[in-house]
Structure 1
Amino acid sequence: MRLARRLKAAFNWLRALLRNSYFWGGFGGLLLLALAMYFLVDAVIMPSYTRHGVAVQVPDVESRSFEKAKQLVQDRDLTVQREAGPYNPSVARETVVDQNPPANSGVKPGRRVYLTVNAGEVPMVNVPDLMGRGISVREAKNQLSSLGLEPGRIEPDSVPSPYPNTITRQDPEPGDSLKKGKAVDLWYSTGLGTDTVQVPSVVGQPVEKARSLLLRQKLRSVIVDPRRPESTATSPQSDTSAARRFVQRQGRAPETEVQAGTEIRLFTTDNSTQVPAPDSTI
């Protein structure tokens, strides 16, 4: 009975409220105010904030310097974010290599444009040994390119060699450090010379001096080291022990006449007491 009386009272209150003109007047006023606020936000405030319907075109700034690219982007009422990319030796430093959004995209004014530049430290690489192993000019170029180095001057060597079109000399020397993108100059063989030269006496000489004496006569050397298989030694820097070794015997007798560029085998030892005294006339 108590619940029924409460429900009946609530029903009577609701019926009276719905018949009250002040209630409907207030409700209508609130509804109109809400609609007015909606149209104000939708038609005035939001378009002003989001700049609806307004777009600018992102300029194409790839391959430009970062400073120039930044200015072009900012001139379009856009902001710039610099991103450091990996170093590429074939592209100038601080050059834009990528952009996001892409060029010619339509974006809102004030949009951030990310510019990736060729930055970072230039890595160092060791210069490879391109001499003394019968490496052709083409193969030498490929080896340099694979390390990020460039072939520089490529010229025929003034000292002949038995193996045409193979590398006989390089600058910088093997083992030197170079920045990526730098050049290595190469000299190559044109084959044995047409001149006849006389083999000098190099027995008893340190290996380095023996090499120099042979090259002065336009002759090549092959170092025979009993500690390891013999190898052509046209690159003094490739044998760090050469300065401590002496020529014990040479493959061609002194004063023998041979073609320029002929290889002379030098049998070496690290014991200076096992070699005869060098020719004092040299």
Structure 2
Amino acid sequence: MSNKKKFFNSNYFGLAIKNLFISIIIIALLVVGSLTFIHFYTQHGSMRTVPKIKGKSISQGVELLKKSDLRAEIIDSVYLRDRAFGEIVEQNPAPSTIVKPGRKVYLIVNSTTVKKVKVPNVIDMSLRQAEAYLTSLGFQIERVDYGTSAYRNLIIGLKYKNQTLEPETKIPDQSKIVLVAGNGLQNERYGFPYVVGLDYNTAILIIQSSKYIVGNIQFDTPPVGDKKKYTVYKQNPALVDSLQENQPIDLWLTKTTQPSSTIRSAEEIKNNKYNGNFQTEKTEVEDIEEFFK
């Protein structure tokens, strides 16, 4: 035995064999350990089937993935009008795909809020053009009101939720918009604007676009940054034949709801019917649509 020990410990050739043998053992242990670690780390032989979560809400989809020992990750959102808010519209991997436990499933979901769209400038367009343009962008035409204008069916303003709507303003997609079009009727001699029953912004716009100017403005209660909520209940002069061009028209406005006899309906505006004993001389003007044919 002593000769063997001496051979492996003292002899050069014996030491080489000994070290080689030890190296083989170490390498074998490392290989076995690595394979064992990989087996448990990758959960070899344990697979999961990806459930179908497309069309479900985010919370429902996440819950289904958890039950399958999978994880969800939202990578993008889109806005689709015909889909519910927060609905899952795409998933990757696809349903029924076999994957490892803990695998991420990437999701594209529909927006959880309504997209806001910029309202285009349709002022001075014909009614037909404005309706086609706005509906092509997804807006809805709630109704058409009429105001004083020399041209019938010429767009002179927009309204949203009973307030004047300025072009380029962003409002929710598919919102309902009121178009204000010219009634094609005017005082033949004077083209006099009658604005009783109109909101502040519309009244000012009509007077400024006429041959007259805005005079004194009186509010029944002082406005606090909300002039557009006031309605004209009186103007002076109401309708006279002595007022010259560039003369002022005074206005009285209120936030209080006026009697139905004061507020003009779209049909009354269209037919140029005014309160009081004044009867204007009216003439129909050529429809603006004729210019766009």
Q: TM-score, normalised by structure 1?
A: 0.50
Contact 1:153 1:184 in 2 (8 A): yes
Equivalent of 1:96 in 88, 91, 106: 88
Q: CA deviation at 1:182?
A: 3.8
Q: CA deviation at 1:134?
A: 4.2
| 1:114-125 aligned within 5 A | 114-119=106-111, 122=114, 124=116
Structure 2 residue 60 is matched with structure 1 residue 68: yes
Equivalent of 2:48 in 40, 46, 56: 56
Structure 2 residue 86 is matched with structure 1 residue 108: no
Per-residue Cα deviation, 1:25-76 (whole angstroms, up to 9, x for no partner): 563254134224413432x331221134554343443342111111222232
Q: What is the alpha-carbon distance in structure 2 between the residues aligned to residue 35 and residue 45 of structure 1?
A: 14
Contact 1:168 1:188 in 2 (8 A): yes
Q: What is the alpha-carbon distance in structure 2 between the residues aligned to residue 223 and residue 32 of structure 1?
A: 99
Q: 1:121 to 1:39 in 2, by over 3 A?
A: same
Structure 2 residue 248 is matched with structure 1 residue 270: yes
2:139 corresponds in structure 1 to 150
1:6 corresponds in structure 2 to none
Q: CA deviation at 1:175?
A: 1.5
Contact 1:164 1:188 in 2 (8 A): no
Q: CA deviation at 1:163?
A: 7.6
Contact 2:158 2:177 in 1 (8 A): yes
| SS of 1:113 mapped into structure 2 | strand
Q: What is the alpha-carbon distance in structure 2 between the residues aligned to residue 248 and residue 153 of structure 1?
A: 30
1:209 corresponds in structure 2 to 196
- Alignment RMSD (CA, Å): 5.6
Q: What is the alpha-carbon distance in structure 1 between the residues aligned to residue 152 and residue 67 of structure 2?
A: 60
- Unmatched 5+ stretches in structure 1: 1-12, 213-220, 228-236, 254-265, 273-278
Q: 1:56 to 1:130 in 2, by over 3 A?
A: same
Q: 1:164 to 1:71 in 2, by over 3 A?
A: farther
Matched residues, number: 220
Q: CA deviation at 1:80?
A: 1.9
Equivalent of 1:34 in 27, 51, 59: 27
Q: What is the alpha-carbon distance in structure 2 between the residues aligned to residue 58 and residue 107 of structure 1?
A: 7
Q: 1:270 to 1:243 in 2, by over 3 A?
A: farther
Equivalent of 2:277 in 244, 257, 281: 281
Q: TM-score, normalised by structure 2?
A: 0.49
Per-residue Cα deviation, 1:170-217 (whole angstroms, up to 9, x for no partner): 65254166742242255799x99xxxx9x89999x87313989xxxxx
Q: CA deviation at 1:224?
A: 2.8
Q: 1:206 to 1:115 in 2, by over 3 A?
A: same
Q: What is the alpha-carbon distance in structure 2 between the residues aligned to residue 210 and residue 36 of structure 1?
A: 94
Q: Which amino acid aligns with 1:17?
A: Y
Contact 2:196 2:234 in 1 (8 A): no
Identity, in percent, stands at 17
Q: What is the alpha-carbon distance in structure 2 between the residues aligned to residue 32 and residue 108 of structure 1?
A: 33
Q: What is the alpha-carbon distance in structure 1 between the residues aligned to residue 155 and residue 193 of structure 2?
A: 25
Q: Which amino acid aligns with 2:248?
A: D
| 1:1-282 aligned within 5 A | 16-19=11-14, 24-25=17-18, 27-42=20-35, 44-52=36-44, 54-83=46-75, 85=77, 88=79, 90=81, 91-101=83-93, 103=95, 105-119=97-111, 122=114, 124=116, 130=122, 133-137=124-128, 139-143=130-134, 145-146=136-137, 149-153=138-142, 171-172=159-160, 173-175=163-165, 179-185=171-177, 207-209=194-196, 224-225=210-211, 269-270=247-248, 281-282=277-278
Contact 1:60 1:103 in 2 (8 A): yes
Q: CA deviation at 1:81?
A: 2.6
Q: What is the alpha-carbon distance in structure 1 between the residues aligned to residue 108 and residue 49 of structure 2?
A: 19
